[in-house]
Structure 1
Amino acid sequence: MKNYPKAFIFDLDGVITDTSEFHYLAWKKLADEIGIKIDREFNEKLKGISRMESLDLILALSPSNNNLSADEKERLASKKNEHYQELIQSINATNILPGIEVLLKEIRRNNIKIALGSASKNATEVLKQLGITEYFDFVVDASTVTKGKPDPETFTTAADRLHIPYEACVGVEDAKAGVEAINKAEMFSVGVGEIKHLGDAKYVVQDTSELVFEEIVKRYNDWNLHKGVR
């Protein structure tokens, strides 16, 4: 007998839409302003982690920034967010990644809860601009939790607010830190991207167009059977 999960928890960037380029450009602009050079290769380290953690990694590239006060760091992080918010004004429904809206509709059709678990404080605004807010029962963002990914708090908070047991949840992520967070929460993890980066996920697809509801449910059932859960 097929056993359906009771909730899907999606990451935002790289899963629902791709604002990674905007994040990169915003961080690069801030870094340039404080005399630090970053490139796309370095930007890979910033994916899936919080704004302040990202800032610390950038500041560590220049020893002269070692003694910045907490207030100064907050000012720099806010400046980056201003750059980012300017860039995302152009986002609309055409920026939803392939297959995602079809998947959201299918999940809804099966009366399964949907949450967003994002490291971005702009998550709610991005959903609004994409025109898909109505699909989501709850949004967890950086203002909701105290510990970012790879800590499981983002995903456990979503499940708790939806009143769903963790093992009945599917988490969908494109970052290694996100997959680690899902696994720590003891949920079924789906990775979107290269398996060499996301090999710890229980199920990996190369891109969002391969996120097919019935296939995810099948893999989720196989995982449950493997655990001895009926």
Structure 2
Amino acid sequence: MDRLKGKSALITGGSSGIGLETARQFLAEGARVAITGKNPETLATALSALGGEALVFESDAADVSAQKKLAEQIGEAFGTLDVLFANAGAVELRPIGQWDEAAFDRSMGINFKGPFFLIQELLPYFANPASIVLMGSVNAHIGMPNTSIYGASKAALASLTRTLSAELISRGIRVNAISPGPIRTPLYGKLGIPDAEQKNFAAAVESQVPAKRFGESIEVAKAVVFLASDEAPFTVGSELLMDGGLSL
């Protein structure tokens, strides 16, 4: 279990769900790991779940100025960075008529602007070779009602995967994306859906997935391990859809 032995890794949004499970898998594979989150209590709980083996940084993924500070902290902690998993994100579902500028900026900020400027600030610290994995979504590829801004923000990341791949490959930096479908994470409890309706919502989503189930965080985490490892040196600019066939 040493596929990431000796590598340093930063996982944004690493205090729960896919990010936390990826941190577990990275540690198990021998990496030095730092995670970020906004909530100090959630970060403390995550650190405990990781056996105290990770570094934790409180950081707002949507705040451009915070990305510079985070990059400097990573430089101080690791010297160089081998892996970035830009996982932090937000899902806000609204009909188009109910969006306002503040909500638009909030979603685009955490899902696209934040990761973009974090990569920019980390450029001096990336090792050669290094791997960047962006967290996309199947919603960039399907026309699901009420996901206009969320889908657009993830489509922007899919485009960024390709353009940065061409721009950064000469520096030894590979950029790839993971685009999951519905995954069983705490995220679904944060969508503002009343508790009494969450079971019906989950069943409705599950019925649209050909695999007839939600994915699990560990399935995504293991794919991120592959893209981050030296097993994927020829995987550049790819987007791995992990959606149980939802986008077919």
**By percentage of residues, which structure has more helix?**
1
Shorter chain as normaliser: what TM range? 0.3 to 0.5
TM-score (norm. length: structure 2): 0.43
TM-score (norm. length: structure 1): 0.45
